[in-house]
A and B are shown apart, each in its own frame.
Chain A
Amino acid sequence: MEDDGVRRMSSRTRKVASKMVAALASTDNRTQAAIARLDALENDNAGFEVADANNDDDEASLDDEEGYMQKKQSKSTKRKTRQAKALEARKAPRTFLELIHEANLESLPPHVPSYLRAAVGPPSSTSRRHFCTVCGFSASYTCVRCGMRFCSYRCQNVHNDTRCLKFVA
């Protein structure tokens, strides 16, 4: 194998999305990254940069002149005041998760059915199939750095070259 000798690597530092550096620090954060990846499946519009829906809606309001001007201004002032942020938050439609949080469903007595209690819950068996994130076949290996799966040396290389440690689902 080529791995026998010292592995030659570029001395250039690897570019990592700032969010991911923090997210990858512990295994717990790794699961957080996985959750974020799952959340992305519910996004209407693609784009890894549109992580939260609020940004999305800001962009969405740009179609009228007013919104466009506001955006320009906000760029020039650089930092928003707390008040302005609060105002904007009130104006923008809230995401479903915010509404859930607001409804305070946890406080309901346990016999009342609610959105949270209707969730199906974890599977009875913990076994799961792992698929190679590169080619899609069953994967036996885990990337030590980011926890994604790959099935062969070739796929590992593709993985390392493309999306290891990147915030791409």
Chain B
Amino acid sequence: MSSTNVVVLDNGGGLIKAGFGVEHDPAVILPNCLYRSPSSKKWLHPHPLHTTTTSTDSTAAELDFTSAAVRRPLDRGYLINSDLQREIWSHLFSSILRINPTQSSLLVTEPLFTLPSIQRSLDELVFEDFNFRALYVADSPSLVHLYEASRRPDGLVSRAQCSLVVDCGFSFTHASPVFQNFTLNYGVKRIDLGGKALTNYLKELVSFRSVNVMEETFLIDDVKEKLCFVSLDVPRDLRLARESGKENLFRCTYVLPDGITYTKGFVKHPERIHNYLALKDGTCGFPPLPEETKGNMNRPEIAEMPQDRNRIDLSKNEFDLTNERFLVPEMIFQPANLGMNEAGLAECIVRAVNSCHPHLHPVLYESIILTGGSTLFPQFSERLEKELRPLVPDDYHVKITTQEDPILGVWRGGSLLASSPDFEAMCVTKSEYEELGSVRCRKRFFH
């Protein structure tokens, strides 16, 4: 247990990141859900993923997530089921972190624009159910800003005390301007698309086209993390994805676990995963198209896909992905293609910037910080820059910074804040809460 006794909790819709203030990495990363396999009646706690390994390949190692049903306390990013959250937190605090809440302070993240009723239920959870000594509620953009500013004390982010945090997480995507460590809430813009929707979309596509995987959320999560990428030129890639057989640069086969020889799904030819990188166009400073792909582009565009799909042997329990690999993350950039009446990420950023004071515009464009698990798709920032550049006035620079670990960025900022000397003074203590109540205590956090 740390000497300061501040528990930092980034309560995400997909993953809980929890640990102690001052430390660099969270002690535990835990899926924020309970799961139940079809054969049992009990809801179980998933095992934490450890931070030393990458989050993708340690997930399903010892657990049987096959056809598991999931319950999540958060819906669309907001806490709706506090009973469930209490269950998960008490498991977290008592069996994993082994802390005594009555002697600890809690720093917890809350999404922007949380409704007062949800804020109240969070306060009740913290003070009445767990009896924490003190509470600080932070919003994630300001924590990310804090972390980035501290990492590069000479960088623009810390000199101007201003950045635009693009958080593309599990439940939604936010573009939030931060100024002087405060999120400018009138400038925040949100797209209702995140990793969960993308996984569900991929699940639908695979289920309709090859194997029914509608129940396999965790498996498809893995497929998405391993195989999906962001296309830099969608029409060209769509054309190339029509190629049949081995010539197709995008075709990858994912083998489903059969429970006997493999308990985990895997990609059949891992060396093929990155074939698409050869396609990077000249603007990004990569070598031009290889010879073979140039030749193939002249082929008549006859759809051979359905035939190809029929050729997949269903008994082998594997499926191929071609255009799905880039059309799924594409939805963040073009939600309209999915039928959503929402602007894409680039436009979302422009609107967020435009709602701020004009003097801030050039600085905001130059200090865009990408965070959140869904920004881990390969080529995400390249594509964003490519789309954003034409929308931004010519005399402004566009600079997109990626975090070295986008999933943990918020938590590290929280840990930093918890270690600052003023932290105790910023908290609301239990006695204050008991005296003033939830609403008036919340005024202290300025959001």
Do the beta carbons of A114 and B117 come within 8 Å of each other? no
Measured CA separation A122–B348 after assembly (Å) = 10
CB distance from B98 to the nearest CB of A (A): 27
Bound-state Cα–Cα, A121 to B348, Å: 9
B348 touches A120 (CB 8 A): yes
C-alpha gap A62/B38 in the complex (Å):
13
A154 to B, closest residue via Cβ: B306
A153 nearest in chain B by CB position: B303
**Chain B residues within 8 Å of A158, by CB:** 306
A129 in contact with B200 (CB, 8 Å): no
Bound Cα distance A79, B81 (Å):
27
| A60 on interface, CB distance cutoff 8 Å | yes
Residues 47-93 of B contacting A (Cβ, < 8 Å) = 69-72, 75-76, 78, 80-84
Q: Enumerate chain A residues within 8 angstroms of B241, measured Cβ to Cβ.
A: 137
CB distance from A151 to the nearest CB of B (A): 6
Supposing A95-B80, A96-B80, A123-B336 touch, asked if A113 and B188 sit within 8 A by C-beta, the answer is yes
Chain A residues within 8 Å of B209, by CB: 134-136
Q: List A contacts of B112 (CB < 8 A).
A: 118
Inter-chain CA distance A57–B72, complex, in Å, is 10
Contacts of A34 in B (CB 8 A): 339
Which residues of A sit under 8 angstroms from B348, Cβ to Cβ? 120
> Is the C-beta of B189 less than 8 angstroms from some C-beta in chain A?
yes
Which applies to chain A's interface (DSSP): helix, strand, loop or mixed?
loop
Verify B343–A137 contact, CB threshold 8 A: no
In whole angstroms, how far apart are the Cα atoms of A163 and B344 in the complex? 29
A46 touches B215 (CB 8 A): yes
Whether A115 pairs with B217 at a CB distance below 8 angstroms is no
Asked if residues A123 and B347 are in contact (CB atoms below 8 Å), the reply is yes
Contact indicator B342/A46 (Cβ below 8 Å):
no
Measured CA separation A80–B210 after assembly (Å): 41
Q: A37-B339, A38-B340, A95-B75 are in contact. Are A121 and B197 (CB under 8 A)?
A: no
- Docked pose: A21 CA to B185 CA in angstroms: 43
The verdict on A100 contacting chain B, using a C-beta distance below 8 Å, is: yes
| Residue of chain A at shortest CB distance from B305 | A135
User: A93 — nearest CB in chain B belongs to which residue?
Assistant: B81
Partner of B204 from A62, A122, A124, A169 at Cβ < 8 Å: A169
Interface residues in B338-353 (C-beta closer than 8 Å to A): 338-344, 347-348, 351
Give the residues in chain A near B190, CB-CB below 8 Å. 118-120
Task: Say whether B113 contacts A118, CB under 8 Å.
Answer: yes
* A42 and B191 in contact, given A120-B342, A129-B234 (Cβ under 8 angstroms): no
Chain B residue nearest to A111 (CB atoms) is B186
Q: List residues of B whose CB falls within 8 A of some A CB.
A: 33, 36, 41-43, 69-72, 75-76, 78, 80-84, 112-113, 115-118, 174, 185-186, 188-192, 196-197, 200-201, 203-205, 208-209, 214-215, 217, 234, 238, 241-242, 303, 305-306, 309, 322-324, 327, 334-344, 347-348, 351
Given contacts A38-B340, A45-B215, 10 further A-B contacts (CB under 8 A): A38-B338, A44-B196, A63-B43, A99-B118, A100-B115, A103-B117, A113-B185, A120-B191, A120-B351, A168-B208
27 contacts between A and B (CB under 8 A): A41-B200, A46-B203, A63-B36, A93-B80, A93-B84, A96-B80, A100-B115, A102-B117, A103-B115, A113-B185, A119-B189, A120-B343, A122-B341, A122-B342, A122-B343, A124-B347, A128-B334, A128-B337, A133-B208, A134-B208, A136-B322, A136-B323, A136-B327, A137-B238, A154-B303, A155-B306, A163-B208
What residues of chain A have their CB less than 8 Å away from a CB belonging to chain B? 34, 37-38, 40-47, 53, 57, 60, 62-63, 93-96, 99-100, 102-103, 105, 111, 113-115, 118-124, 128-131, 133-138, 151-152, 154-155, 158, 162-163, 168-169
